[in-house]
Amino acid sequence: MDIHEFQAKELLSGFGVNIPRGGIAYSPEQAVYRCSELSGKSWVVKAQIHSGARGKAGGVRICKSEEEVWDAASWMLGRKLVTHQTGPQGKLVGRLYIEEATDIAQEIYLGFVMDRKLERVVVVASAQGGMEIEEISESEPDSIIRSVVDPAVGMQNFQAREIAFSLGLDPALINQAAKTIMGCYRMMWETDANMVEINPLVVTASNEIVALDAKVSFDENALFRHPHISELRDKSQEDPRETYAGDRGLNYIGLDGKIGCIVNGAGLAMATLDMIKMAGGEPANFLDVGGGASPERVLQSFKSVLNDPNVEAILVNIFAGINRCDWIAEGVILAVKELDLKLPLVVRLSGTNVDEGMKLLADSGLDIETASSLAEAADKVVAAWRATDSAYAEAS
């Protein structure tokens, strides 16, 4: 789960990380009022969306008058901001963060990420901040500093100081930098975050270290331990297909293809996507219905798949262990009838009660094509999709 910059900064501030003063605005009037609260001669207006590279898309502006703040806020609010991370669909700007301008003397990159191969938190830092880590890696590979944290003891002060020294900071700033690094690590550890990124972490003209931007993402499986973080979720920034499915307990990831997939088990789901690709099709989603799926859960799975208007055919692939094929068949029949499904549908069932399940499908009188293997099912659904897609092309 991602959160907004202002939310990430508020969390980091609670762990001793220095942040600029700022406030949220939902209208140009509020934006100007925030300026009067902050005082000063210049401010930064930042669009709050779940994406990096906002500045390149016009989502971060330095303003030197209240009129400029008003104009920037008017332009951003209600606009879909398109960055290289959002894709062409962009993300809607519903709120702004108005922040006091900072006199920057140096920019630093600081990131904490969970390395699943090492099973450790890895700290990544660079004295060349202000740009994406991929750009830093390409243009200044020697500037990247990496430090692995031993989970048995956690991050130690000496590690934080080593990173600070490696960044070439003024010796007078080492303690302050170490405190910032330790604060970021503590926040990541205590909130079950997957990633904490501050880019840039700046040294100001007055010799202070300040987090000028912040990006944090959390492990959704651990959110039950942190209800105050769960409340920070902004569903307007998420793929509506994934939000709908997630709210109903389904594991769904939207893709760009035309063939909807309903599968049980993550491994089988991945294999199903591969087989569709090998057969010449493009999957529209990853969807794992989980174990013990009831007919009602299967119905919700169909609804989730059909929330994608690009879906032109559906493949159901179930290997029943905890699940039962007759339950799945009942759910498929229920979905076809209740949703008045007209799209091509291919069902492959295997495992517990498979004969009962296949009989239910055969006796239903519905236009449901069955298959005995995954390869056959993939071939059939791709062929059906191509036939339907050709018909659409001729009609248009």
Residues with a catalytic annotation lie at 109, 197
For β-strands 209-211 and 193-204, DSSP reports them as antiparallel
Closest by CA to 349, choosing from 374, 386, 367, 330, is: 374
Measure the CA–CA gap between 177 and 199, rounded to whole angstroms.
Answer: 14
Please, what's the largest Cα pairwise distance for the chain? Answer: 80
Neighbours of 376 (CB within 10 A): 15
Closest by CA to 202, choosing from 54, 12, 385, 19, is: 19
Q: Binding residue per annotation — 199?
A: yes
Measure the CA–CA gap between 357 and 316, rounded to whole angstroms.
Answer: 13
Closest by CA to 2, choosing from 252, 185, 219, is: 219
Per-residue 3-state assignment (H helix, E strand, C coil) for 338-396:
HCCCCCCEEEEEEECCHHHHHHHHHHCCCCCEEECCHHHHHHHHHHHHHHHHHHHHHHC
Closest by CA to 284, choosing from 308, 251, 316, is: 308
Measure the CA–CA gap between 356 and 338, rounded to whole angstroms.
Answer: 22
Strands (E), 35-152: 43-47, 60-63, 80-81, 91-92, 96-100, 104-115, 120-126, 144-149
Q: How far is CA 145 from CA 153, 173, 202, 392, in A?
A: 21, 18, 17, 54
Q: Binding residue per annotation — 46?
A: yes
Q: Binding residue per annotation — 142?
A: no
Q: Binding residue per annotation — 107?
A: yes
Q: Binding residue per annotation — 213?
A: yes
Binding residues for ATP: 46, 99, 102, 107
Binding residues: 46, 99, 102, 107, 199, 213, 264
Residues annotated as binding site for Mg(2+)? 199, 213
Annotated binding-site positions for substrate: 264
